[in-house]
Structure 1
Amino acid sequence: MARGESSAGIGYGLVVGGAALFIVNAGVSRVAMRAGVDPALLTSLRTTGSALLFLAFAALTDRSALRLPRGRELAMLLLLGIVGVAGVQWTYNIAIDRIPVGMALLLEYLAPVLVVLWARFVQKQQVRRTMWVAVAMTLLGLALVAQISEGLAFDGLGMLAGLGAAVCFAVYFLVGEQGVRDADPIRVVLWAFTFAALAMNVISPVWTVEGLGAPANLLGALDAYEVPLWLVLGWVIVLGTLAPFFMELSALQYLPATVVTVVATLEPVGASALGWAWFGESLDGVQIVGGLLVVAGIAVAQLSRTSSPAPVPEVAG
């Protein structure tokens, strides 16, 4: 095997591994919320824990990342942190608590489609004609999954939260693409999570969490098992955020950003499988076809941009 093929294989392995951890995190996050941690508090815990670990990592590896942002960079990082990190995780947590995890991720992953539309109509970038195919595929797919012709098949607030997550995730991509042109990605993510944590602690302070030693039922197929709540929250922070983040960030050393993002669309498919295996969630044949259309449309949309976006690591799943 040629060296280039070997490097690409490493990249694919990293992004698939990161996507797998983000998928499992959807189920673990639901366990935390059903154990009594509300979506806002879970978001505070995740962003705060992640910010502290990113801070420790930067202190050990690149202290220049700790420099306080100023001016335009400060404004960009505030928007990225409050909307692109805190906003997407809060709305996503609401969604997975109320609708099937696969549907929640399908809605969140409409973000690449929104990004391409923004690039075309606001930034006046040239995009391939396949963009319109992508938009049609995702809209038709969502209509099939949500069974719009028969009335919404899922909780309305959960659906709105999923769409809100898509908007926030699109902001994350758009602002993040600009941010990493001017700064190291570690610095961008460190300060984005720091500002996200500060914002969420105003809304739901982490010190209000209770019962960390209480048992949390693993639900669904794992209903016979319980683990301490602190272990569930530790998973969300370390294996649900830090590990997949570094895996997908590392994948960008071997693969173009567009390829990493397209491969990451395995998440909605994997989340649907996880929802079926863990929580007994299922879709009928028409909804499965719709889900596949959405995923294909997302991939086509990402590839329709004529210029490659700057690499932005996935942190929101």
Structure 2
Amino acid sequence: MMRALAGWQNAAGKIPVTLWLITAVCSAQLASSLSVPVIHRVGSPTATALRLLWGAAFFISLARPRLWRLTRGQLAAAVCLGLITTGMSFFFFAAVGRIPIGMAVSIEFLGPLAVALSGSRRLLDLLWVGLAGLGVWLLTAQAGGRADLVGLVFASGSAVCWGGYILMTRRVGRALPGLQGLALSMAVAGLIGLPIGILPHARMLAPGPVLFMGVISLLSPILTFGLEMASLRRMEPRHFGILMSLEPVMAAVMGFLVLGQRLSLLQLAGMASVTLASFGTVACRPKEVIMESNGET
């Protein structure tokens, strides 16, 4: 087993790290798009809980964290990250059940953008703030109907959680070695999701959606999180942030290919504005500021 794992690691080391992250982006958005039919069938809370439970089972079996060796501070950080992961996941799946996935991801991306711009006093960053604001206005200008407005609120809630997720992931990464922090946070998220999305609907939950979400969880969070963590260890934070700016675009592409979702020209322009704002925020910041914001020394 260990020899096979070492062989896979050696083979993966020969693949350009840029392809790792692009694969992670594609995997995340493909998984989200494939989850939409399940959301419409069993509801977003159940679909979210299944995703979190499958992810928790995998990471716990892989990392095998030893709770008795952890301090209270380490446990508290992992629990806090788990709470944020829960909110981010439930809000996002609720959003994509109501609005196109490209729109949801674009709005959700405002969370990382706000984190990247926090504390900045550069005039150039005002341009990115304005561009992001324009993007949101274009995305929501044609949103009509109560369901669309509720979906936008859910996407905004996911954006807030994603911003907190970035900050807490950095803290947990410093406090806990390897995958232990990720495993514990996913376990917390899975345990919270169990009474919310699984237990109330256990009698009506068919094996098909359970197994299908298990397959989807191989794409995200398992493959996505693993590739992102591996990419961060080999890639400069600036390049990581630039490539992550592809998320809204890839979400729109997957939404069209998998779900047949079409965005209007105004909505496509809004998505492009948010993507450009994210790209510019990372690409135009001084290198030392980016490294500091990502916890690099």
TM bucket, shorter chain: 0.7 to 0.9
3-state DSSP of counterpart to 2:235: coil
Q: 1:92 to 1:131 in 2, by over 3 A?
A: same
Q: In the alignment, what sits opposite 1:253? A: 233
C-alpha contact 2:50 2:214 (8 A) present in aligned 1: no
Q: Deviations over 1:19-58 (max 9, x none)?
A: 11111111111011122x2212222211122111101111
* Structure with greater proportional helix content: 2
Q: Hey, what does 1:224 align to over in structure 2?
A: none
Which of residues 147, 161, 164 in structure 1 aligns to 2:141?
147
For 1:210-221, list aligned pairs within 5 A: 210-213=204-207
**Which amino acid letter does the alignment assign opposite residue 105 of structure 1?**
V
User: Equivalent residue for 2:75?
Assistant: 74
User: Quick one: which of 151, 164, 169 aligns to 2:157?
Assistant: 164
Q: Does 2:191 align with 1:198?
A: yes
Tell me if structure 1 keeps the 8 A contact 2:112–2:163.
yes
Residue in structure 1 matched with residue 274 of structure 2 by the alignment: 294
Aligned with 2:294: secondary structure?
coil
- Aligned-residue Cα RMSD (Å) equals 2.7
Q: Give structure 2 stretches of 5+ with no counterpart.
A: 1-12
Which of 228, 233, 254 pairs up with 1:274? Answer: 254
Residue 93 of structure 1 deviates from its aligned partner by 0.3
Asked whether the 8 Å contact 2:103–2:267 carries over to 1, the reply is no
1:120-153 Cα distance to aligned partner (Å, 9 max, x none):
0xxxxx56443222111110111112116x8689
Partner of 1:243: 223
1:27 aligns with 2:33: yes
Cross-structure match for 1:178: 171
- SS of the aligned residue for 1:205 comes to helix
Taking the aligned partners of 1:183 and 1:55, their CA distance within structure 2 comes to 14
% identical equivalent positions: 22
Aligned match of 1:42: 47
1:292 shift after superposition: 0.7
What count of residue pairs does the alignment treat as equivalent? Answer: 280
2:10 maps to which residue?
none
Equivalent position to 1:188, from 164, 177, 181: 181
Instruction: Tell me the residue number matched to 2:294.
Output: 310
Q: Closer, same or farther in 2 for the Cα pair 1:204/1:68, shift >3 Å?
A: farther
Is the partner of 1:98 in helix, strand or coil?
coil
Q: 1:9 to 1:258 in 2, by over 3 A?
A: farther
Structure 1's unaligned 5+ residue stretches are 1-6, 121-125, 214-227, 313-317
